[in-house]
């Protein structure tokens, strides 16, 4: 089944888009990239989840991790993206999905797969799943591996910025100290989204935090880039930047 789906992906490949994507996603393996646009991959995922997806995921999961075992696989970039989309979209029990997610996260080695996967995991938004998924994410939020931690941060940003979780989220984000660029960027991005929803609480944190200067300043930059923040607030926040 994998070979059949790979043929479909190859037919949708675009060399110009491949070149663009490789520039957009630093560190991506050019030899394991086809150049298929996300909407096309998503369309294929929707087709696969109609039937036979279990066998297909089993084939993909049987592909070995890349040398070193830290992110990536022998799969093509688009196959990893497709795998994540199927895990998010297929009908299955909650614990089964969480098990698939736990096996998938080690394969994330770039921001694009991470962020697309997190955004697609809309089962976390269902009331009956929220507490369980929040508990599931805690181990990722304390992990020292860059993309494990980014996964946790982007998940709480995408699915948990609400009245019930904002205080916990701000505490978690302020307590993350990691040298990984993609962790720092995720934390700044998440804090900017927290500001949009809860400006007073988030600004209080910005005024008094122990984050590194890069993350602190990047948070302010991202907030000031938002069209949902007033000019007055942007000017005030500008004064909180560190030199």
Q: Note the residue count of the chain.
A: 243
Tokens standing for residue 156? 């709480």
Tokens standing for residue 78? 């688009």
Q: Which long-range contacts (CB under 8 A, 24 or more apart) does 12-19 make?
A: 12/36, 12/37, 12/40, 12/44
Where do we find the tokens 């923040």? 229
Q: Which residue intervals of 106-230 are DSSP H helices?
A: 111-120, 127-141, 146-159, 166-174, 181-197, 199-207, 213-225
The residues with which 73 forms a beta bridge, in sequence order, are 65
Please answer whether residues 143 and 152 qualify as being in contact, where contact means their C-beta atoms are separated by less than 8 angstroms: yes
Query: Per residue of the chain (243 residues), what is the pLDDT tens digit?
Result: 899 999 999 999 999 999 999 999 988 888 889 999 999 999 999 999 999 999 999 999 998 765 544 455 588 999 999 999 999 999 999 999 999 999 999 999 999 999 999 999 999 999 999 999 999 999 999 999 999 999 999 999 999 999 999 999 999 999 999 999 999 999 999 999 999 999 999 999 999 999 999 999 999 999 999 999 999 999 999 999 998
- Give the model's pLDDT for residue 69: 41
Distances (CA, A) of 145 to 8, 158, 192, 216: 33, 20, 23, 21
Report how far residue 154's alpha carbon sits from residue 46's, in angstroms, rounded to the nearest whole number: 23
């Amino acid at each position: 089944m994998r070979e059949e789906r790979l043929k479909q992906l190859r037919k949708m490949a675009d060399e110009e888009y491949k070149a663009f994507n490789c520039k957009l996603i630093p560190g991506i393996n050019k030899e394991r990239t086809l150049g298929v646009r996300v909407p096309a991959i998503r369309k294929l995922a929707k087709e696969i989840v109609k039937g036979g997806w279990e066998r297909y995921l089993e084939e993909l999961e049987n592909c070995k991790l890349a040398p070193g075992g830290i992110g990536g696989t022998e799969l093509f970039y688009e196959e990893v993206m497709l795998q994540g989309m199927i895990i998010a979209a297929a009908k299955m029990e909650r614990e089964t999905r969480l098990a698939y997610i736990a096996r998938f996260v080690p394969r994330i080695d770039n921001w694009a797969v991470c962020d697309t996967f997190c955004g697609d995991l809309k089962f976390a938004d269902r009331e009956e799943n929220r507490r369980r998924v929040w508990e599931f994410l805690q181990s990722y939020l304390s992990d020292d591996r860059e993309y494990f931690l980014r996964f946790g941060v982007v998940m709480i940003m995408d699915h948990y910025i609400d009245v019930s979780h904002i205080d916990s989220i701000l505490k978690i984000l302020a307590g993350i100290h990691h040298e990984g660029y993609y962790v720092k960027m995720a934390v700044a991005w998440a804090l900017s989204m927290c500001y949009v929803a809860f400006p007073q609480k988030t600004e209080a944190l910005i005024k008094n935090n122990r984050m590194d200067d890069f993350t602190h300043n990047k948070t302010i930059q991202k907030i000031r880039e938002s069209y949902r923040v007033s000019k007055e607030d942007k000017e005030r926040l500008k004064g909180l930047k560190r030199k």
